Amino acid sequence: MRRASVRVRAALGATLVVALALVAAGFFVVSTLRGGLADSARLNAENTARGTAAQAGDATRGRLADLDGLDSDDPVQIVDAYGKVLGASDPLKGRGPVAGFARVDKPDDDNGADGDAEEEADEVDSDSETETLTFPVDDDGEVTYDKDDIVGTQEFSVAAVQGRTRDGTPVTVYAGASLGAQQEAVSTVTRSMLFGLPALLLVVGGVTWLVTRRALRPVEGIRREMSAITASTDLSRRVPEPDARDEVARLARTTNQTLAALEASVERQRRFVADASHELRSPIASLRTQLEVAAAHPELLDLDGAVEDTVRLQALAADLLLLARLDAGERPAEGRVSLAALVREHVGQRLGDPHPVRTGPLDEGEVRGSPGQLERVLANLLDNAQRHAAGEVSVSVGREDGTLALAVCDDGAGVPEAERERIFERFVRLDDARSRDEGGAGLGLAIARDVAERHGGTLRVDAAPRGGARFVLRLPVAGG
């Protein structure tokens, strides 16, 4: 199944979240509204009941039917301890106790008085009881018991308050307040939400889709440009960068940085292949020439020259293979190497160097890495120093701020400050007049720096104390 676009998913997600939020808010609003209106109706019923009970306390039993509090259009009844109706408002006049409206209690003594009522009716009870009852109503919403006028029913919040008449008769006043306003308000709000919710969700979904479309428009531009770059293999092209400082702009900048790094890598690889082909062509051509001459004139065979070209070709192939492994991200073997011991062993094996190698202070310490690769760095630095020295080469190892520094110095002409980074590039030789046989292929220092960096160290060149060049390899000391 095909996945929907980001715009569609964002619009649907936002619509769903808003829908859930609105439904939850709707339930809360309706619940709060219903509760508030019910409390208001209950308070109105209690006030009516308390007011009527207060008036009953100033009247006698026979005068209860004429109380002003019974002029209300809401249902009000005054009953005695036996449940006999002593007074009622117009909606309930002529009616007996409404079912569930008046509770009849049997008398507890021989005088017919309700013991509980006499104990609790000395004054208006401050703790009234409330409940909800349903009454038949006419088309005006007024309570009626005329079957011809009944068009429906309506709930009323009913409050009961106990009191005593002036002549000592215990009575209970029941008063009801209509919940019609509550029901009508809740219905109106509910209908408004039911009609308004779909329209609001359509607006939210549409706005979200438009906003997301506008926000993702630069992403589509980036995608099209990347597709064009892939099709054309032109790594010099760049994706458009939006003027905004948002995530899409950062994505575009990162993409362009990646393209720039990829372009530089491809260009470096192209130059490497071209330079390698050029460097390999010379010893191969020389070796072929010597072999062809030897085939025609065996007495003219330069065996020493052929061996020298073969050795040079073998060394160049080894250098190219090592660079290829380094470029592929080969990590050095894990081991602990003593640079002082490595220097003593390697210098002792170098025989036939044109200039003597003097060893300076060799501080003890170990670094982590590959013994073979670190020895290759030392050999390349010493070979480079031998080619440029006037009379002497020196090597030393010292501790510097948590690192071991291996320094190789010569007493030659040195390296111009402007060229001190360029000499670490591949196939770079500063002395163009020097022959290839004397100057090498220009890979030794490039290999040395790559190996140093993959061991977590650095390789720099500066001026030697007595003139010439001083190459310093710094590697972190191995922890315990």
User: Which pair of structure tokens corresponds to residue 29?
Assistant: 């609003």
Q: At what angle do helices 180-232 and 6-56 cross, to 10 degrees?
A: 170
Q: Which of 7, 468, 349 is nearest to 207 (CA)?
A: 7
CA 334 – CA 311 distance, rounded (Å): 30
Does the pLDDT value for residue 18 go beyond 80? yes
Would you identify the CATH topology of the domain 54-181?
Beta-Lactamase (3.30.450)
Question: pLDDT-derived band of residue 107, with 50, 70 and 90 as boundaries?
Answer: very low
Terminal alpha carbon distance of the chain:
57
Does the pLDDT value for residue 460 go beyond 50? yes
H or E segment to which residue 342 belongs: helix 339-349
pLDDT given at position 432: 45
**Which residues lie closer than 8 Å to 445 by C-beta, 6 or more apart?**
380, 381, 384, 423, 424, 459
Question: pLDDT-derived band of residue 124, with 50, 70 and 90 as boundaries?
Answer: very low
Does residue 153 come out as left (phi exceeding 0), alpha (psi in the -120 to 50 range) or beta?
beta
CA 296 – CA 140 distance, rounded (Å): 132
Average pLDDT over residues 50-71: 83
Beta bridge partners, 472, equal: 407, 460
Question: pLDDT-derived band of residue 397, with 50, 70 and 90 as boundaries?
Answer: very high
Average pLDDT over residues 234-258: 83
Report yes or no on whether pTM surpasses 0.75. Answer: no
Which whole-number Å values give the CA distances from 402 to 311, 430, 471, 477, in the listed order? 40, 34, 19, 6
Q: Percent of the chain beyond pLDDT 70?
A: 87
pLDDT given at position 469: 92
Least confident range from 83-87, 275-279, 292-296: namely 275-279
Average pLDDT over residues 2-28: 80
CATH of 247-327, one of 1.10.287.130, 3.10.310.10, 1.10.10.60, 3.60.20.30: 1.10.287.130
Average pLDDT over residues 84-102: 73
Q: What is the Rg, in whole angstroms, of the alpha carbon atoms belonging to the chain?
A: 52
CA 353 – CA 295 distance, rounded (Å): 34
pLDDT tens-place string over residues 413-457: 888 888 888 888 877 776 543 444 445 667 888 889 988 988 899
pLDDT given at position 3: 60
pLDDT given at position 382: 92
Whether the Cβ atoms of residue 219 and residue 242 lie closer than 8 Å to each other: no
Whether the Cβ atoms of residue 383 and residue 440 lie closer than 8 Å to each other: yes
Question: pLDDT-derived band of residue 462, with 50, 70 and 90 as boundaries?
Answer: very high
> Hey, how many other C-beta atoms are within 10 angstroms of the C-beta on 147?
7
Question: For residues 301, 304, 305 and 308, what is the CA-based torsion angle, rounded to 10 degrees?
Answer: 150
Least confident range from 104-118, 206-220, 325-339: namely 104-118
pLDDT given at position 251: 85
pLDDT given at position 104: 40
* Domain extents in the chain: 54-181, 247-327, 336-476
Question: pLDDT-derived band of residue 118, with 50, 70 and 90 as boundaries?
Answer: very low
Residue 426: strand, helix, or coil: coil
417 burial via Cβ count (<10 Å: 0-12, 13-18, 19+): exposed
CA 144 – CA 152 distance, rounded (Å): 10
Q: What is the DSSP pairing of strand 393-400 with strand 357-362?
A: parallel
Question: For residues 266, 272, 273 and 275, what is the CA-based torsion angle, rounded to 10 degrees?
Answer: 140
- Report DSSP letters for 189-241, one per residue: HHHHHHHHHHHHHHHHHHHHHHHHHHHHHHHHHHHHHHHHHHHHT-TT-----
**Which residues lie closer than 8 Å to 283 by C-beta, 6 or more apart?**
309, 310, 312, 313, 316
Does the pLDDT value for residue 317 go beyond 70? yes
Q: Look over the chain and give the mean of its residue pLDDT values, rounded to a whole number.
A: 80
Residues in the chain: 480
CATH of 336-476, one of 3.30.565.10, 3.40.1710.10, 1.10.3210.10, 1.10.3720.10: 3.30.565.10
pLDDT tens-place string over residues 346-387: 998 888 888 999 999 999 989 998 888 899 899 999 999 998
User: Which pair of structure tokens corresponds to residue 343?
Assistant: 């220097």
Least confident range from 3-7, 17-21, 244-248: namely 3-7
Residue 437 CA to its chain's centroid (Å): 59
Residue 395: strand, helix, or coil: strand
Which whole-number Å values give the CA distances from 44 to 32, 178, 451, 454, in the listed order? 18, 9, 92, 86
